[in-house]
Structure 1
Amino acid sequence: LIETFRCFCQVAMLFHALWSSDVDKNFPSMSTQDLMEMLVSEMSEDNTKQFKDENGNFRDFTEWEGVEVDDTGNVSTIHWDDDPDEDPSEKPNHGVILLDWLPRSVTSLKVGGRGFTGCVNCKGLPTKLIEFDAERNFMEGTVDLQDSPDTIKHLDLSKNLFRGTLHLVALPKSLTYLYLDANSFHGLIDLWNLPTNLIELSLSQNKLYGTVDLERLPRSMGGLWLDGNSFHGDIKLQNLPPRIVCLEMQDNIFDGSVIIDSFPESLRCLSISGNPLKGEVLFTGLQPDFWNGLSASKVKDLRNQEESS
């Protein structure tokens, strides 16, 4: 079944490359009603019946639950996300959501936890999209993040079946929250040219590898999650963003030294446990009373590493 769906995604992406320009040309001539019906046309019957009347005909999209329109009557918000405490794997197949048919006016789309399959073609997303949540589904394929709309601020594709490499050096400048954890992304990553306004980035529980450079993170960053991958080398905690609150790098294969020159006052959570570190813990530029100013949650892993070196 997974292989069949993988083939479907590959065919869908190729198909989109062939006809996307024609679709864009046809969008102005298509009614919003037609677009919304196409968007849900491959969903399961259990999903589509909520949009239909007793005769099985689609109701006007303005009457669909979770859909909001702006002052001009265009769709601005689609919120079909489910209870975050529910496990989508325990639900029957909810079908495919055809994102290429999203009305161009949509600014917020939430479809988390619905058990949807499908692919995400970032280039085909609405150009005014600000928020896109699709976590906890069964979406698959590669994701070209650099093709995301220039307006995007919040992008959550976590807990899906996405794969391929990640290109993080040309992300939209508007992006402030990016969650890609619990997928199957692989390869090297670059953290040196992230959007200057990025606040949170989660790459945990993937198949990423290589060394990690934390010295050029955005100064706005408050949380970075890299745990559960195969990163190696030294852990260099130098020149960290002044507002960072959480940094998790546990359960990788870091095998070098831990190098620290300072800790931001904002830091509340730091974890490097579960790594085969073999080098030294090097404190450069720190005052003798370094430990006294840190909470137990900050220093637990570092103190243990220092004692074992």
Structure 2
Amino acid sequence: HLRNNRFEGQIDFSMLPDTIETLEASENFLKGSVDLTKCPRSIQRIDLFTNRLSGTVTLNKSLNRLQHLFLGANQLHGTPDAKTFPVNIVLFSGADNKFHGEFPLSLLPKSLKVIQVQENMFDESLAVDLMSRRMEELSFFQNKFSGSLNLRKLPSCL
């Protein structure tokens, strides 16, 4: 674990060992974007919260072992592409960034149970009635969502 140090610079995911399962580099001074397209397929957990990441996030659908992705408390921007979320991801935490645009719940993998994207700038409508019935936690507060809200088909756990 590399957590809570003074590491700086960018992360080149292609340089990670082929057998790595966890990358824990939270609470540092890392910069740049998050490009998971060249991340080893062995990765199961990535913790990069509370850094100085400021670019975009490029996800990789083929990272079929990645279950937990923590990117909160950075300055990341853009719109995470729901179609490229890793197929078996369980938790996505992107809270306290500058993400914007639409967050299409219906396009996310069915494995996703926890979404934490509070304190961003998402500004489209939010179709909660189209999300997976397996969802356990949604944190969308302090964004700029608009439109009507259909609450009839919410999972019972919410």
TM-score (norm 1): 0.49
Residue of structure 2 in register with 1:156 after alignment? 47
**Amino acid of the structure 1 residue aligned with 2:135:** I
Aligned-pair CA distance for 1:171:
5.2
- Give the direction of change, closer, same or farther, for the CA distance of 1:217–1:112 in structure 2 (3 Å limit): same
Residue of structure 2 in register with 1:200 after alignment? 91
Residue of structure 2 in register with 1:117 after alignment? 8
In 1: Cα distance, 2:34 partner to 2:10 partner: 8
Residue of structure 2 in register with 1:221 after alignment? 112
In 2: Cα distance, 1:159 partner to 1:132 partner: 14
Residue of structure 2 in register with 1:260 after alignment? 151
RMSD: 1.6
In 1: Cα distance, 2:60 partner to 2:39 partner: 13
The answer (yes or no) to whether the contact 2:26–2:51 under 8 Å persists in 1 is yes
- Give the direction of change, closer, same or farther, for the CA distance of 1:115–1:131 in structure 2 (3 Å limit): same
**Amino acid of the structure 1 residue aligned with 2:16:** L
Aligned-pair CA distance for 1:260:
3.0
Partner SS state of residue 164, structure 1: strand
1:168 aligned onto 2:59: yes
**Amino acid of the structure 2 residue aligned with 1:185:** L
The answer (yes or no) to whether the contact 1:115–1:138 under 8 Å persists in 2 is yes
Q: Structure 2 stretches of 5 or more lacking a match?
A: none
**Amino acid of the structure 2 residue aligned with 1:246:** E
Deviations 1:71-128 (A, max 9, x none): xxxxxxxxxxxxxxxxxxxxxxxxxxxxxxxxxxxxxxx1111232232100111111
The answer (yes or no) to whether the contact 1:143–1:164 under 8 Å persists in 2 is yes
The answer (yes or no) to whether the contact 2:51–2:74 under 8 Å persists in 1 is yes
Alignment match of 1:191 (pick from 59, 67, 82): 82
Partner SS state of residue 252, structure 1: coil
In 2: Cα distance, 1:195 partner to 1:140 partner: 23
Residue of structure 2 in register with 1:143 after alignment? 34
Partner SS state of residue 107, structure 2: coil
In 2: Cα distance, 1:239 partner to 1:254 partner: 16
Q: Which has the larger share of strand?
A: 2
In 2: Cα distance, 1:190 partner to 1:261 partner: 26
In 2: Cα distance, 1:171 partner to 1:143 partner: 16
Partner SS state of residue 14, structure 2: helix
The answer (yes or no) to whether the contact 1:234–1:259 under 8 Å persists in 2 is no
The answer (yes or no) to whether the contact 1:192–1:213 under 8 Å persists in 2 is no
Aligned-pair CA distance for 1:253:
1.0
Q: Which has the larger share of helix?
A: 1
In 2: Cα distance, 1:212 partner to 1:119 partner: 27
Aligned-pair CA distance for 1:166:
1.2
- Equivalent residues in 2 for 1:25-174 (5 A)? 110-170=1-61, 172-174=63-65
Partner SS state of residue 143, structure 1: strand
The answer (yes or no) to whether the contact 2:34–2:58 under 8 Å persists in 1 is no
**Amino acid of the structure 2 residue aligned with 1:148:** C
The answer (yes or no) to whether the contact 2:42–2:65 under 8 Å persists in 1 is yes
Aligned-pair CA distance for 1:169:
4.8
- Give the direction of change, closer, same or farther, for the CA distance of 1:122–1:208 in structure 2 (3 Å limit): same
TM-score (norm 2): 0.91
In 1: Cα distance, 2:146 partner to 2:127 partner: 12
Aligned-pair CA distance for 1:187:
1.2
In 2: Cα distance, 1:185 partner to 1:211 partner: 15
Aligned residues: 158
Q: Structure 1 stretches of 5 or more lacking a match?
A: 1-109, 268-309
Deviations 1:222-251 (A, max 9, x none): 210111111112121023223322101111
